[in-house]
Amino acid sequence: DAGVIQSPRHEVTEMGQEVTLRCKPISGHNSLFWYRQTMMRGLELLIYFNNNVPIDDSGMPEDRFSAKMPNASFSTLKIQPSEPRDSAVYFCASVRGVEYTEAFFGQGTRLTVV
Amino acid sequence: DQQVKQNSPSLSVQEGRISILNCDYTNSMFDYFLWYKKYPAEGPTFLISISSIKDKNEDGRFTVFLNKSAKHLSLHIVPSQPGDSAVYFCAASVYQGAQKLVFGQGTRLTINP
């Protein structure tokens, strides 16, 4: 298996623009997580899905952030409009099932908003 | 609110000595704990875990200790090797509709030759 695949690896955008980050989880995994890595908070949980259904989005910092999982093999995290303080590395991770806790991470998307 | 805390942003250890990384948590409902290792420009990778019903789990050079009464866990690496230099994240899990995995801020470990 190719593992969790995120795209793009790097994104540079201007303030106010819409940004969409993409994630393909490992086939057969039921849960998907979006994290943001910052110096202050480490790996901050933004939202997670189980069987394509959002379970908890309390970590999404503002209404400018939204996430979808239209099917078991694809998820997006959208920021609209983007701001410089959104600059961070965003990670997607997937977990096989409810009884498992080992999450497999993608390589991340480094977002820079200028 | 930071439910999982790693209070040491960095740690420097001599090669061959023991590295001890610490982690505290606040939610007593957490039932599974994990350590992840992260190299630059890569995603975190799973290292070792422990269930809340145990107080120790060992895997080669890596041992995780859990003290539930103190809500504290630690990762011991012995002997430390230069390849262990990385950022280490502590994580805790609780079932809330799915296994919710919460991470700490990370500790940057540097192993000096």
Residue A98 clears pLDDT 80, i.e. is over it: no
Q: Dihedrals φ, ψ of A25, to 5°?
A: -75, 175
Nearest-Cα distance to chain A for B30, in Å, is 12
pLDDT at residue A100 in the model:
66
From residue A92, give the alpha-carbon distance in Å to each of A26, A40, B50: 11, 19, 23
Nearest-Cα distance to chain B for A18, in Å, is 24
Assigned token pair, B19: 């590295």
pLDDT at residue B34 in the model:
95
Spatial distance between the Cα atoms of A47 and A68, rounded to a whole number of angstroms: 10
Judged by a CB distance cut-off of 8 A, whether residue A12 touches chain B is no
pLDDT at residue A78 in the model:
98
Judged by a CB distance cut-off of 8 A, whether residue A10 touches chain B is no
Reported as a single tens digit per residue, the pLDDT across B10-31 is 999 999 999 999 999 999 999 9
CB A107 within 8 A of CB A8: no
Spatial distance between the Cα atoms of A36 and A43, rounded to a whole number of angstroms: 6
Query: In chain A, which among 80-109 make CB contacts under 8 A with chain B?
Result: 91, 93, 95, 98, 100-108
Nearest to B97 among A55, A91, A104 (CB): A55
Compare all CA atoms of chain B with the CA of A43 and give the residue at the minimum distance.
B103
Handedness of CA A82, A85, A89, A93 (dihedral sign): negative
CB pair distance less than 8 Å for B93 and A105: no
Spatial distance between the Cα atoms of A1 and A98, rounded to a whole number of angstroms: 20
Reported as a single tens digit per residue, the pLDDT across A42-90 is 899 999 999 999 999 999 988 999 999 999 999 999 999 999 999 999 9
Q: Helix H segments across chain A?
A: none
Reported as a single tens digit per residue, the pLDDT across B48-102 is 999 999 999 999 999 999 999 999 999 999 999 999 999 999 999 988 888 889 9
Residue whose pair of structure tokens reads 């790693």 in the numeric block? B6
User: Euclidean distance between the first and final Cα of chain A, in Å?
Assistant: 36
Tell me the average pLDDT across B27-51.
95
Encode A53-69: b = buried (16+ Cβ within 10 Å), e = exposed: ebbbeebbeeeebebeb
Reported as a single tens digit per residue, the pLDDT across A30-39 is 999 999 998 8
Our separate counts of H helices and E strands in chain A read: 0, 11
